[in-house]
Structure 1
Amino acid sequence: MTGTTSPADSAAGRAAAASRALYRQEDYIRTLQDLSHGELRDQMKETVSLEKAAIQEWLDSGDCYIISLAGKVHLPTCDSMKRFVDRDSAWFTNLRFPQRLQGESPDEDPIPVWPILRTRAQIEAMPRRTACPLCKPDLAHLDKARRAITWTYLPARSLNSKHFSTEFRLPNGSLLGALTRISTVETIDGLLFTAEFEHAEAPVTDPDTELMYQTGMRALA
């Protein structure tokens, strides 16, 4: 079975993302300070349950790849990805030491990393990709598509009105969607840059962020 829905766009994926996002909100973090460790564990277990459902839905689709932070393409069964795919293991330290979420480990980010889940179509859209040497996913079927696509790269600061409605991606293949709004506001702290995209969860605020968009098709060799 080949899925057509991005893992992040599935119902389970959205629920897991919303639950994880709570742990990064200052107002929510303050409410954790008054919870007992048992109560905090119960809340974390709810998040773990949502994340496991999202991962399982993705695995059941049969259309499964993971992009590592180094940009390599992995199969979900790759040994190096187990700590990300197994959400019980990912949250194990927090469940054992719930005080980490109550600010007692200020030098660490206590929220476990969520794997970068990708479908085959999203992998095909990546202009640059390298197969993991450990799990060795077969990417040979992607070579033709890779040669056919021409991409233009530019920093976010170079966006202007001619780019409205153009579909953008990040260099790792993540879809941002069509550019819908650009603004630069002068504040007391300097210029505040914002670029909004149709499918992005949050606007791009770093003007040096590298973006890419498709500009044409080259003849296949």
Structure 2
Amino acid sequence: MTGMTSPADSPAGQAAAAARELYKQDDYVQALQDLSHDELRDRMSETVALEKVAIQEWLDSGDCYVISHAGKLHLPTCDSMQRFMDRDSAWFTNLRFPQRLQGDAPDDDPIPAWPILRTRTQIEALSSYTPCPLCAPMPVPPEARFGAKQWTHLHARNLKSKHFGTEFRSADGSILGALTKITTVETIDGLDFTAEFEHAEAPITDPDIELMYRTGMRALANQALS
């Protein structure tokens, strides 16, 4: 979903972030001291509602991964992430004991942590990550970092005989396998282009499709990328 607006940048995401930020401001926290517990619960419930809308937008986008505070990558449905993703549960203690935000010495950090949400594009840009062994998220093969220097990108029309045997992937990381055949036929309607790959389900016929192969890997052309 490269180029699309992240749910974090949506009105709901911005409103949720702004609401959470308020609880870190001294003057806002001071104003909470004058509220009754019911009023304070209402104030927190408004924040919870904003956060739930923002979380749901992430989930509805279908492009949502969670990085734990220990740096491990998870799917948003991972059981270990539910205490962050379920905002009702995250705020439960505060809603039950609103006095945690009041008094001369309120809890040091009474506002529940927000999950670290990332899109596939953001995960691809990481130099490395450790997937959770339980939910096993694999947005891209570990070796397929699209922006990394070890990958060379080219359009299908630029394939030459020198590329035969080179292991290719499509731009989204899907394995195509070794290039086995290039056919360019001139017809009355123009050029008819076809490129065939060892593991591709069908030949590529669009000369403008972007492909990639590992730079300096032709010596290993007979080894499949896995």
Q: Which residue of 1 aligns with 2:35?
A: 35
Q: Which residue of 2 aligns with 1:91?
A: 91
TM-score, normalised via structure 2 length: 0.63
CA pair 89-3 structure 1, distance change in 2 beyond 3 A: farther
Letter in 2 for 1:110: P
SS in 1 for 2:143: helix
Aligned-CA RMSD value:
2.3
Q: Which residue of 2 aligns with 1:148?
A: 148
Q: Which residue of 2 aligns with 1:122?
A: 122
Distance 2:139 2:91 in 1: 32
Is the 8 Å Cα contact of residues 101 and 107 (structure 2) preserved in structure 1?
A: no
Is the 8 Å Cα contact of residues 7 and 61 (structure 2) preserved in structure 1?
A: no
Is the 8 Å Cα contact of residues 127 and 146 (structure 1) preserved in structure 2?
A: no
Q: Which residue of 2 aligns with 1:102?
A: 102
Letter in 1 for 2:10: S
Larger radius of gyration: 2
Letter in 2 for 1:148: A
Letter in 1 for 2:93: T
* Count of residues in Structure 1 that have an aligned counterpart in Structure 2: 154
- Cα deviation code 1:124-150 (max 9, x no counterpart): 011121101111112443522268248
Q: Which residue of 1 aligns with 2:111?
A: 111
| Greater relative contact order structure (CA < 8 Å, 6+ sep) | 1
Distance 2:56 2:106 in 1: 32
TM-score, normalised via structure 1 length: 0.64
Q: Sequence identity of aligned pairs in percent?
A: 70
Q: What is the correspondence of 1:1-221 to structure 2 with a 5 Å cutoff?
A: 4-103=4-103, 106-145=106-145, 148-149=148-149, 219=215, 221=217
Structure 2: where are the runs of 5+ without partners? Answer: 151-213, 218-226
Distance 2:149 2:115 in 1: 27
CA pair 58-30 structure 1, distance change in 2 beyond 3 A: same
